[in-house]
Amino acid sequence: MMGRSQEEKAQSRHRIVAIASRRFRELGLGGISIADIMKEAGMTVGGFYRHFESRDELVCEAMAAACQEMEDSVLTKQPTLKLSIQTYLSETHRDEISSGCLVSSLVNDTARSTDDVRKVYAERLEASLRLLESQMPDACEGEFREKAILIYSAYVGALGLSRAVPDSELSRQILDVVASQLISLFPV
């Protein structure tokens, strides 16, 4: 119906990526159609391919955007390992999947995806591991990276399990006991 300025086009693209980034985390990489993403961005499906070459390109961009978002929020708000553990393994993080960590919410999807997707994912994982290493208290003897890998594995597993089980009591227990054990393993 309308022509639009280049600035509006850039805003449209940003809106598409932001919505895709949230919906993919919530519903999985195959859980929402391009038509529905465009509708939520206030547009129709026909405009999509002037922004992206393919659906896969949007998947990569949306994952990269989710990574950047994590980078910005996490780095500033979690200065200590204890706070990082409590935040990652919180009921809030469990319930807000569409704005949460994609390393957990898309781990199965990524394993079944293209190499492009997996590379974006691995960059985010490496950044998270580096952050954990930097938060490791000096009291921790031994290799920081190895400990970071154990902590992050427990993160991804515990958050994933807490979202999968139907029993809310068990769900909370998983988050709580993994958090408290990680904290006691790596004392501040």
Partner DNA sequence: ATTATCTATAGATCTATAGATAATGC
Q: Binding residues for DNA, per CB under 7 A? A: 1-9, 12, 33-36, 38, 42-51, 54-56
- Tell me how far apart the alpha carbons of residues 10 and 112 are, in angstroms, rounded to a whole number: 31
What is the dihedral sign for C-alpha 100, 103, 109, 110?
A: positive
Q: How many chain residues interact with a second copy (CB under 8 A)?
A: 46
- Tell me how far apart the alpha carbons of residues 129 and 135 are, in angstroms, rounded to a whole number: 10
With residue 156 as reference, give the H or E element that holds it.
helix 144-164
Choose the stretch contacting a second copy; rule: CB under 8 A; options: 37-45, 56-64, 70-78, 177-185.
177-185
Q: Is 188 in the site for a second copy (CB under 8 A)?
A: no
Q: Using CB under 8 A, which of 83, 146, 168, 187 touches a second copy? A: 146
CB of 167 to DNA, least distance (A): 27
- Going by the DSSP 8-state scheme, the letter that residue 98 receives in this structure is G
- Tell me how far apart the alpha carbons of residues 187 and 126 are, in angstroms, rounded to a whole number: 23
- Tell me how far apart the alpha carbons of residues 174 and 178 are, in angstroms, rounded to a whole number: 6
CB of 59 to a second copy, least distance (A): 14
Give the binding site for a second copy (CB under 8 A): 27-28, 30-31, 97, 103, 105-112, 115, 118-119, 121-122, 125, 146-147, 149-150, 152-158, 160-161, 163-167, 170, 173-174, 177-178, 181-182, 185
